[in-house]
Structure 1
Amino acid sequence: MMPALLLIAHGSRDPRHAATVAALVGQVRAQRPALEVATAYLDHCAPRIPQVVGRLADAVAVPLLLNRAFHAKHDIPAALRAAGSSLPLADVLGPSPLLLAALDRRLAEAGLDVGSAAVRSRTGVVLAAAGSSDPAADAATRAVAAEWRRTRGWAAAEVAYASAAGPRVPDALAALRAAGATHTAVAPYLLAPGLLPDRIAAASTDADTVADPLGPAPELAALLLQRYDRARLTAPVVPALTA
């Protein structure tokens, strides 16, 4: 019998966050109907990690996180240990070509003809992320933007942050235009609606195209399953705390 997939999300007071996680779980179940999928949250939402791990005989924990920042490096492993769990822990979602495909999807849904090389060649994109105090996480986000530009042929690509130090979205849009882009698009590099995506949208009024957050894109569901499959074969367990 295959181990369950335990999806660990951050949680938010905004009800749209939990609704998005539930929709994403639905996508995972649709792609692999025989797999048991459970959800736990670090904060704000229920159920929390201790409430879930105790009822799972065998599972792989998969963090719903884009980068290896503080939550991935410290909070989730600590929460699993505190719950007495020694479940294998999968890697975070990024970077991955599937994330780029999900970003493409959201821009297309917002009306941008991402399939046209001519459109891409005159369009500058802003990858609008939360931002992190971890320099490695911010470097990873910049690498995603660079890879997205390289593989798609965007006129330019800039990173903007909603919660950390700049650049902010208006700064990034100005940089795109200075680089020669005649069409600008903002793509939130965030998983669910909430405070930070709302802040990004409010700062994007000068953009020509503004996408929704990644949300329950089928590419994200496929990526979660990819991380699960890899971890159940190779990931180290998180040692449980002992008395």
Structure 2
Amino acid sequence: MRHSPVIPSRGPVPLADGTAPGRVPLVAVAHGSRDPRAAATVAALLDALTDRVPLDVRVAYLDHCAPTLGQALRGLEEAVVLPLLLTEAYHSRVDLPAVLNEARARDPRLRVHYGHTLGPHPLLLTALERRLAEAGVPAGDPDTAVVLVSAGSSDARANGVIAKLARQWRRSGWWTVTPAYASAASPTPAEAVAALRRAGAPRVVVAPYLLAPGYFADKVRRGTLEAGAEVVADVLGPAPELAEVLLERYEAAQRQPVSLAG
């Protein structure tokens, strides 16, 4: 059974002997989008996870889509809650802990293991290189400048994580790697592409550090191609590296959950 982007739970996946797996249910919380491609991508990522490990997985969204996190938690006595977000910012630090504390206040029996966001994680660089390779860009090409594009945040710490990731990635051999932000910070992706062109980069490509297609991904593609980018890679989506990170976060949340203290 594949995930429906609007169904809150796919239920337990039976083991070979027909029994329930007995694992703590996972509630994966995505940002949400009016674009149906985004929910379909989240569903595909969770399918990639449950292809590896049989889990009861529920999907929740912060905005634009149902169910909410509170709705997805109903009927559960214990859950691992993981933000499907690529950086730690307001949603993961404030919004989600507040919702989880409200849910526990309504039902004191509910045990929540809150996990870390997907990023930062070394495997996400591997996933970015996978998407570039699929677009015909070999990893670490010294004649290629990369614009690493995130959604952007009003939280300077989140944007700083992207800048640090760009510096780390630059050391793998690229002409350079420049961070850019689709909103709330500068440079914009188009500005970054134009600056690299002026600086004499032999080739400029764009690597979206975005989970799913939608408004930002479309805006980034249009703007950077108009600014002179030669290649715009696909979003990270259900890359196998993301499924691996998600499984790692699920297991870590049960050993050492993130504090929900406000």
TM-score by length of 1: 0.90
State, as a whole percentage, how many aligned pairs show the same letter: 49
Give, in angstroms, the shift of residue 110 of structure 1: 1.4
Give, in angstroms, the shift of residue 86 of structure 1: 4.4
Greater relative contact order, per chain length (Cα 8 Å cut-off, separation 6+)? 1
- 1:106 matches 2:131: yes
- Per the alignment, residue 220 of structure 1 pairs with 242
- Per the alignment, residue 69 of structure 1 pairs with 89
Structure 1: stretches of 5+ with no match in the other structure: none
- 1:147 matches 2:168: yes
- 1:12 matches 2:37: no
- Counterpart-to-counterpart distance in 2, 1:73 and 1:95: 15
Deviations for 1:165-217, whole angstroms, at most 9, x for unmatched residues? Answer: 32112221233335542111101111111111111001111111111111111
Matches within 5 A, 1:111-122: 111-114=136-139, 120-122=141-143
| 1:207 aligned residue (217, 229, 232) | 229
Distance 1:225 1:168, change over 3 A: same
> Contact between 1:77 and 1:238, CA under 8 Å: does it hold in 2?
yes
Distance 1:2 1:237, change over 3 A: farther
- Counterpart-to-counterpart distance in 2, 1:237 and 1:209: 41
One-letter amino acid of the counterpart of residue 86, structure 2: L
- Counterpart-to-counterpart distance in 2, 1:50 and 1:191: 23
TM-score by length of 2: 0.84
SS of equivalent to 1:185? strand
One-letter amino acid of the counterpart of residue 119, structure 2: G
Matches within 5 A, 1:175-214: 175-205=195-225, 206-214=228-236
Name the count of aligned residue pairs: 234
Q: Considering only aligned residues, what root-mean-square deviation do their CA atoms show, in Å?
A: 1.7
> Contact between 2:78 and 2:111, CA under 8 Å: does it hold in 1?
no
- Per the alignment, residue 229 of structure 1 pairs with 251
Distance 1:236 1:102, change over 3 A: closer
- Counterpart-to-counterpart distance in 2, 1:14 and 1:233: 35
- Per the alignment, residue 123 of structure 1 pairs with 144
